[in-house]
Structure 1
Amino acid sequence: MKAKQIKILSNIFYILGIICAILLFTHNTHGFFTAIRIGFYVFGGAGLVLSLLQFTFITEDKWEDFNLLFWIGSLVVFIGFVAKTTHLKYATHILIVGLAITGISYFVNPFKKDKTDEDELLDN
């Protein structure tokens, strides 16, 4: 599969996972609580794995766009939501840590090149 196909499939899984999460957290499961919860786990987890997998198919030039810290934060947020659905004691703390990592990822990207590399053209 190409990266674009994996991205489309990942987005579909994310949308289905979000729909299941909304149904779970608004208590609109209409008697299908277990099936919707399993759907949330499967679609959310598959979306996360596929989003990471798509970056194995990209070229070296685009690695700058990938932020591993954002993906790790998203994974911790997902684990927090899974903990929330199972009513674990520290689920809120896990969510806060995951959201903090995701927020920090907007300021820090380990793959992004320094801006000094781009200034070399002006120095010539």
Structure 2
Amino acid sequence: MIAKQLKAISNICYILGMACAILLYTQNTFGISSAIRIGFYVFGGTGLLLSLLQFRFIPEDKWEDFNLLFWIGSLVIFIGFVVQTLHLKYATYILIAGFAITGFSFFVNPFRKDKDEEDELLDN
């Protein structure tokens, strides 16, 4: 119950954060760029934190679905976008590192069980 509510709130925050990010990067801020930038920081950060908190309420048998490396990569990407919106140096390198971690997470999941058990069923 709590996990579903956290997921719903997290998704809403992600959508609002992405809307603010799109407005910032297309420079369609309608004269309120500072408010849109703050919205991007608040909604994006809240979405990330809620997605991590939702991990706490996942039963142990469903941990395979959550990948901590993906979350860490998403956090690094968010930090890279924040650095880029502040026009600081090295934003590109932070973004590349975040995308690399996120891409690597599709191949490695520390909570995934061995697939050998499932392969045996298919071999019969």
Relative to the length of structure 2, the TM-score reads: 0.94
Runs (4+) of structure 1 exceeding 3 A deviation are 117-123
Q: Secondary structure at the match of 1:3?
A: helix
CA distance in 1, matches of 2:109, 2:81: 25
Q: CA deviation at 1:118?
A: 3.4
Query: Pairwise CA RMSD of aligned residues?
Result: 1.7
Q: CA deviation at 1:119?
A: 5.0
Partner residue in 1 for 2:41: 41
CA distance in 2, matches of 1:122, 1:90: 48
Please give the per-residue CA displacement for 1:55-89, whole angstroms capped at 9, x wherever unaligned: 10111110111100000000000000000000011
Partner residue in 1 for 2:106: 106
Partner residue in 2 for 1:64: 64
CA distance in 1, matches of 2:119, 2:25: 49
Amino acid paired to 2:58: I
Q: CA deviation at 1:122?
A: 7.8
CA distance in 2, matches of 1:86, 1:61: 41
- 1:1-124 to 2 correspondence within 5 Å? 2-119=2-119
Relative to the length of structure 1, the TM-score reads: 0.94
Structure 1: where are the runs of 5+ without partners? Answer: none
CA distance in 2, matches of 1:84, 1:34: 14
Q: Percent identity?
A: 76
Q: CA deviation at 1:90?
A: 0.3
Q: CA deviation at 1:108?
A: 0.6
CA distance in 2, matches of 1:32, 1:121: 59
CA distance in 2, matches of 1:76, 1:45: 11
Aligned residues: 124
